[in-house]
Structure 1
Amino acid sequence: MFTGIIETVGEIDQLTAESENLHIKIKSPLAQELKIDQSVSHNGVCLTVVEINENTYVVTAIKETLDKTTLRSLRKGELVNLERAMQLGDRLDGHIVQGHVDGTAICESVAEANGSWVFTFTYKNADFSTVEKGSITVNGVSLTVVNSQKGRFSVAIIPYTFENTNFKEIKPQTEVNLEFDIIGKYVKNLMQPYV
């Protein structure tokens, strides 16, 4: 489980395809603190560490993960948001994030807003919806939804988040990973028979 509070960004160092899997080598200051078999969120996707070197580590994404996330389009040198799994007893500064991406969205626009930025995203997955002032995870970042509409929402990004995540690289037409709020998903599931 994660919180959506990004620890650092890593840089894609190498991408190696093997059958339908993709081995992703990441350069990161976290590498020396990781352990084999540890879960790390990469742009919101929970992946298992399978190899560690001095300042890099390797994770493997399977076909289903590649089909449902933006990991399929990673490029060498690209920045990825990183968060290690939370420890029991830690503060939950963001919200409950599983690292199980529900789908992707496209950035529709980025607008400056007096010292911050408003990013608007559109998505096609009708199984999910956002709630005004509810939580959403975009590329692993826990955010508050503003301007919730069917298939569309916005988030406001403060300068700290902009500078310390890969939001600084998101532009119109950039594809991002989405994880909708787990509590909202459970409520929707429970209410389905009565709707």
Structure 2
Amino acid sequence: MNDPFLGLEDVPSFKVVSNDISDGALSDVKFMSGDFGIEGGQDISPQFSWSGAPSETKSFVVTLYDPDAPTGSGFWHWAVANIPAEISELPQDAGNSDNSKLPAGAVQFPNDARAKKYIGAAPPKGHGVHHYFLTVWALDIEKVNISEESTPAFLGFNMFGHVLAKGVLNFEVEVK
């Protein structure tokens, strides 16, 4: 498995939990990608919440990344920034394309499919187990000031030096 945090500053961690992800697995195929051909996939983002972030947190960023995608650089499925510090949960389907379930001020960036929404897991059939990292990043700034057309990688670059802590919820998917 590729380590998506290799080369990043080691920061404290906090807890991330989900009603829709448990024991390292998604609870329903609807959280997988129908857009990428998974039967029953609906590209609905799972519910999740977090606790224990540092008190000096000014905003959060959420990312979903698959380092095992056969691209040479992994695949960013979702990126949301500028989540206010008082928020500690995103509901199911917060990653929809109309932004109706995101907190005011939050910005959804284009994923690697260039869609400003959540794209569910969709490892190529027979490619083996893919490891997904749903990460909540606590930042010391209220806003990451970059273009709303920026890539998740560019978002990460601009977060560098502002991350106070992170919480990670991992899950695995394999399509046989």
Normalising by structure 1, we get a TM-score of: 0.25
> Which structure would you say has the larger RCO, counting Cα contacts within 8 Å and 6 or more residues apart?
2
Higher helix share: 1
Higher strand share: 1
Larger radius of gyration: 1
